[in-house]
Amino acid sequence: MNRRSSFVAASILAGAILVPIGAGSLFAQNAGDNPAAENSEQNKVDANHQTLTPIDQSNKPADIQITRQIRRALMDDSQLSMLAKNVKIITINGAVTLRGPVKTEQEKDDIAAKAESIAGNSNVENQLQVAGN
C-alpha cells in the first residue's frame, strides 16, 4: 500500500509540474500572429459614439429586411472574401451604412453596388475601407 501511495503522489506531482509547462504555449498568443486584428483606434472611435455600430441597427421590420437582404447578397457572392462578407451593415429608417475592412477596391465597389440595388442609390453611405489603407 505504501508503494502505491508513493506512486500516486509522484504522478500527481509530475502532472502538476508538466501541465502548466505545456499549457503555457497552448494559450500564448504571439502579437505578430494577426496584426490585422489590431483595431484599437477604430474601437475608440466606436466607443465614443462618433460612428454607427451594429447596436444602432433599427428594429423596424423594413430596416431588418433591408439588412437581411444585403447580408444574404454578400453571403451568396462566392467572389467576396470572408472579410468582405463580415462588414457591418446598419440600417436606420431605410438608410444603410456600410462599415468595416475589405480586401480590395473591387470588393468595396461590389458591396456598395449590392446595397444600392436593395436600398436605393441615395440611401447607402459607404464607409468601407480597403485593409491596409
Say which CATH number the domain at 101 has. 3.30.1340
pLDDT of residue 31: 47
* Grid cell in block for residue 77: 457572392
Q: What is the DSSP letter of 28?
A: -
Torsion angle defined by CA atoms of residues 116, 118, 120 and 124, in that order, rounded to the nearest 10 degrees:
-50
| Helix spans in 28-104 (H) | 40-47, 61-76, 82-85
pLDDT at 53 over 50: yes
Question: How large a percentage of the chain has pLDDT more than 70?
Answer: 62
- Whether residue 59 lies inside any domain: the answer is yes
Comparing CA positions, the residue from 120, 56, 112 lying closest to residue 80 is 112
- Whether residue 19 lies inside any domain: the answer is no
pLDDT at 35 over 70: no
Sign, Cα dihedral of 78, 88, 132, 107:
positive
pLDDT at 1 over 60: no
- Whether residue 100 lies inside any domain: the answer is yes
**Residues 24, 72: Cα–Cα separation, whole Å:** 41
Domain residue limits at 72: 49-130
Q: Is the entire prediction scored with pTM above 0.85?
A: no
For residues 36-64, average pLDDT: 68
- Whether residue 12 lies inside any domain: the answer is no
- Whether residue 87 lies inside any domain: the answer is yes
- Whether residue 80 lies inside any domain: the answer is yes
pLDDT of residue 106: 97
Summarize pLDDT for 54-107 with one digit per residue, the tens.
777 879 999 999 999 999 999 999 999 999 999 999 999 999 999 999 999 999
Query: Count of domains in the chain?
Result: 1
pLDDT of residue 113: 97
